[in-house]
A and B are shown apart, each in its own frame.
Chain A
Amino acid sequence: MSDSTPVAAADQQVLITRIFDAPRERVFRAWTDPDEVAAWFGPEHVDTPRERIGIDLRVGGRYELTMVRRGGGGEFAIGYEILELVEPELIVLRSDPMPEVGMHEPTVVRVEFHDHGAKTRMTLSDAPQPPAARGHAEAGWSAAFEKLATLVESTP
């Protein structure tokens, strides 16, 4: 994988692209070192305590953390399986289903890190993945889906 040929297929929906003012080795570490993840992963007013983060950094390994609401409002565990891992270029995670919040199917989070001068361009996509439709061939559906949303919204 070189930077001139982005891994993201043209039709794959990329939800987010960000430029970070740090080399990609650094940004990759922020995603894979539990000390680092603890510092940023939780949403506002939620902590992700270091001692409740487990990252078994290998393909097939687990990526787990617990979000704890500040001021004692309960906690919420999330877990992923690491599907792909290329340091410092790529992480693909498949979430465990979380039926209690309406997520009955896994989603696949794909994070790519590209050199952008001295900075890093990160792309992140997060798409539902029905169990019967595993693999990259199905990654393109959400792009069509977004277009569809536009069409539907403009149709009475």
Chain B
Amino acid sequence: MPTDQLSLTFAALADPTRRSIVTRLAEGEATVNELAEPFSVSLPAISRHLKVLERAGLIVRSRDAQWRPSRLQADPIDEAVEWMQSRKQTWETRMDRLDAHLRRKGEQDE
């Protein structure tokens, strides 16, 4: 299992419940109870998801407060967004070339 940050980030976000949790945390920190509210899953299940997110470095959980609120860590997510944007750029350039190629061919065929 690769342990580079991008792989960890994408693996952690490959689950719809964890994506919802992360989206919720983007609005501000929240406790396990608050995070569990919108879902029909148990608190322990939510805790397991939080552990995955924590291991991937996407969230930090306060050590001292009783309810250990979770907070989003932006850096790994920024890195992943950047990576996605560079993929997009690569494909955009390629599609420009495909477009030009189809135009050239079209003229030759006429």
Which A residues have a C-beta under 8 Å from some C-beta of B? 15-16, 18, 20-22, 26-27, 30, 36, 39-44, 99, 102-105, 107, 122, 124, 126, 128, 130, 132-133, 138, 140-142, 144-149, 151-153, 155
Contacts and interface: CB of A to CB of B under 8 A. Distances in A.
B106 A22 contact: yes
Contact of B95 (A18, A21, A128): A18
Given A105-B11, A149-B81, 4 more contacts: A16-B95, A104-B6, A126-B91, A133-B14
A141 B4 contact: no
Interface centre among B72, B80, B91 (most CB of A within 10 A): B91
B48 interface: no
A140 B94 contact: no
Nearest to B100: A40
Interface in B65-96: 72, 74, 77-78, 80-81, 83-84, 87-88, 90-95
Contacts of B13: 141, 144-145
A148 B22 contact: yes
Contacts of A16: 88, 91-92, 95
Contacts of A138: 14
Interface of B: 2, 4, 6-7, 10-11, 13-16, 19-20, 22-23, 26-27, 72, 74, 77-78, 80-81, 83-84, 87-88, 90-95, 97-103, 106
Given A15-B88, A144-B23, A27 B102 contact: yes
B19 A105 contact: no
Nearest to A155: B26
A20 B102 contact: yes
Given A16-B88, A102-B6, A130-B11, A30 B102 contact: yes
User: Secondary structure at chain B's binding surface: helix, strand, loop or mixed?
Assistant: helix
A124 B95 contact: yes
14 contacts: A15-B91, A20-B99, A40-B94, A40-B100, A41-B94, A99-B2, A102-B6, A130-B10, A132-B11, A133-B15, A141-B16, A144-B20, A145-B81, A151-B26
Interface centre among B16, B97, B98, B101 (most CB of A within 10 A): B98
Contacts of A153: 78
Contacts of B72: 152, 155
B74 A124 contact: no
Q: Which 4 A-B pairs rank lowest in CB-CB distance, beginning with the nearest? A: A104-B2, A151-B26, A133-B14, A40-B97
